[in-house]
Structures are given as C-alpha cells and as structure tokens.
A and B are shown apart, each in its own frame.
Chain A
Amino acid sequence: MSPDIIIFIVLAAIAIVCAIAMIVTRNAVHSALFLVVVMAVLAVFFLGLAGPFIAMVQVVVYAGAIMVLFLFVVMLLGAERVGARAGLRWQVPVAIALGVVLLAIAGLILFRASPTTAAARLEKASAFTTQVPGACADDVGLARASGVVQGTPCLIGDALFTTYLFPFEIVSILLLVAMVGAVVLTRQSAVAGGPRESAR
C-alpha cells in the first residue's frame, strides 16, 4: 500500500469521527473545536490535491476567522449547554434515516459513474496556459513538466482577475453588504424603539 493511501485512510477516519463528534456532543464549544479539526484535515487534503493556495486560505479563513467568530458568539451568549432539553422524540431517528437515504442515493450515483473518467482526464496539463500571455511562467512550466496543475497563488490570481473578474467584483459587494448587515443587526442603539427602529 502506498503512503498516499495510508494518509488518505487516516485523515478520512479523523474527519468522519470529528464530524460525528461535532453533531453528537452537547457542548457548543466542543462542537466548534471538532469542526476546526475537520477543516484542518480538509486543508491537508487540499494540499495533497494540488491546491496549496486554497489550503492556506482554508486554514486562515475557515479554521481561523470563521471558527473564531463562532467561538466568540458561543462564549458571548453563554450558550455552551443550550439544547439539553428534549424536543420531538422522533426527530433524531427520522434525521438519521433521511441521512442514510441521502447517502444511499449519492453512493448509487457514484458507483454508477464510469470509473475510467478520472484517469482519462489527467492528460490536459501539457496544454495548460494562462489568460495573460507569459504570466506565472515558472508555475506553467512546472505544470507542463510534472503533468499536474498546482493551484499556486499566481495561477489562482490569474484566473480570478481575468476569467472570474466579474464574479470577483460581485463577491466584494456581497462582503460589504454582509458587513453592513452584521453591524446594523447587532448595534445596541440608544434610539428609542431599539434595533428595529434604527435599521430603517
């Protein structure tokens, strides 16, 4: 067995166990920490799947920024133990049954797909080019030599600022709207009538 396969099995086991623990544990802080482990494992997968830039963004944005935001809110609200009260009794069995059905459908589609396609697609690296002529010459040369297109910051930036320039600009507006929305929603206003009045 090659080291790649052993690493995959170990990391996949860690990811699945931590994802289950995230759902099962009653303490919201523990849930957040288990989710951090899952995200770190996925970052290692991204590194192995020729995406070094995406792996670093995963660690910085997801495991760093987003999960810190989660932990802040959990501790701010003191909501670590909320949810111990029992809800509907049949809710958990039905949820698990529906999840199993979803997994069965996904597995059916996966096993009906042609297994040879992944290998057939791997030929395209020799014809790989960037949108800007001559950009990222080192990365393009490495891709053609090794047969694997690595998602380096230079090549991702090349795609982001040429082919995906319009979505990139829209996403910047989305972030601005989200930021303004978060500020408006959480502002403790001194105006009479509370936040609903000031949001107008």
Chain B
Amino acid sequence: MSNQSFSLLFPYLIGLSAVLFTLGVIGVLARRNALIIFMSIELMLNAANLAFVAFARSFNHLDGQVFVFFVMVVAAAEVAVGLALIVTIFRTKKSTNVDDISALRG
C-alpha cells in the first residue's frame, strides 16, 4: 500500500477496527453459548491487532507489530485455558450455556 493511499485509508482502518471490536462486544453481550463468547473475545483481540498494525504503519515503526505478536501469544494461552475450563464444566453440567453455570459449587 503506497504512502498516499495509506494516509487516505488510515482513519477507515481504525474505523473498521472499531466496528469489528463493537461486533465482538455485541457477541459477548448477546450470545449465551460459552464457545461463541470465546470466539467474540478473539474477534475483539483481532480488532485491536488491526489497530496496532495500522498505527505501526502510520508511525513507520515496528513496536506495534511486536505488540501484535504478544497479543497473539496471550490469546493462545487464554484459549488453551478457557477451552479446558469449558470442557471441564461440560463434563459436570452437560451444557455450554453460561446461564446454566450460576453456582459457585459444582
């Protein structure tokens, strides 16, 4: 992408990032399936990554891309533990609906 068209598109890239983040928030708020909620969190992390990369390109510096790398690692760790939790809960409750998981004691 050339510098000229990037300068033109930069606000729209940040806007796209905001739209994707909002869709992730709506997914977390509106859906009750724990797996879909997790996918919506991934969507929010990806939207933040897009903003990071766009700003890295804007500042002509690589720090933003290094941060994207760290965000991906944290997302991978979060998914591994989160899905393990969902599997464990499913074994006892036979459900992935978050409304069914209202008791502190299993």
Question: Chain A: residues with CB nearer than 8 A to chain B?
Answer: 2, 4-5, 8, 12, 15-16, 19-20, 22-23, 28, 31-32, 35, 38-39, 42, 45-46, 48-51, 53-54, 57-58, 61-62, 65-66, 69-70, 73-74, 76-77, 79, 82-83, 85, 87, 91-92, 94-96, 98-100, 102-103, 106-107, 110, 113, 115, 117-119, 121-125, 128, 147-149, 151, 155-156, 159-160, 163-164, 167, 171, 174-175, 177-179, 181-182, 185-186, 195-196
- Write out, one digit per residue, whether chain B residues 4-41 have a CB within 8 A of any chain A CB (1) or not (0): 01111111111110111111111101111101101110
Chain B contacts with A in 28-85, Cβ cutoff 8 A? 29-33, 35-36, 38-40, 42-43, 46, 49-50, 53-54, 56-63, 65-66, 68-70, 72-81, 83-85
B38 shortest CB reach to chain A, Å: 7
- Compute how far the CA of A163 lies from the CA of B50 in the bound complex, rounded to whole angstroms: 22
- Compute how far the CA of A151 lies from the CA of B20 in the bound complex, rounded to whole angstroms: 24
List B contacts of A77 (CB < 8 A).
86-87, 90, 96
A125 shortest CB reach to chain B, Å: 5
If A39-B46, A73-B35 touch, whether A103 touches B72 (CB-CB below 8 Å) is no
Are B97 and A51 neighbours in the complex by a CB distance under 8 Å? Answer: no
CB closest residue in chain B, given A125: B60
Among A45, A100, A186, which residue has its beta carbon within 8 angstroms of that of B84?
Answer: A186
Max chain A CB contacts within 10 Å: which of B5, B59, B65, B81?
B65
Question: Chain B: residues with CB nearer than 8 A to chain A?
Answer: 1-3, 5-16, 18-27, 29-33, 35-36, 38-40, 42-43, 46, 49-50, 53-54, 56-63, 65-66, 68-70, 72-81, 83-88, 90, 95-97, 99, 106
B contact patch SS? helix
Among B18, B36, B43, which residue has its beta carbon within 8 angstroms of that of A38?
Answer: B43
A176 shortest CB reach to chain B, Å: 9
Are A98 and B72 neighbours in the complex by a CB distance under 8 Å? Answer: no
List B contacts of A121 (CB < 8 A).
58-60
Among A5, A87, A102, which residue has its beta carbon within 8 angstroms of that of B25?
Answer: A102
Query: Can you give 14 contacting A-B residue pairs, CB < 8 Å?
Result: A4-B2, A28-B33, A39-B46, A50-B1, A61-B76, A66-B42, A73-B35, A74-B35, A99-B22, A99-B25, A118-B11, A119-B3, A148-B57, A159-B66
Are A174 and B42 neighbours in the complex by a CB distance under 8 Å? Answer: no
Total cross-chain contacts (CB, 8 A): 250
A contact patch SS? helix
List A contacts of B39 (CB < 8 A).
22, 31-32, 35, 70
B39 shortest CB reach to chain A, Å: 5
Max chain B CB contacts within 10 Å: which of A74, A77, A125?
A77
Are A167 and B46 neighbours in the complex by a CB distance under 8 Å? Answer: no
List B contacts of A174 (CB < 8 A).
73-74, 77
List B contacts of A54 (CB < 8 A).
53, 65, 68-69
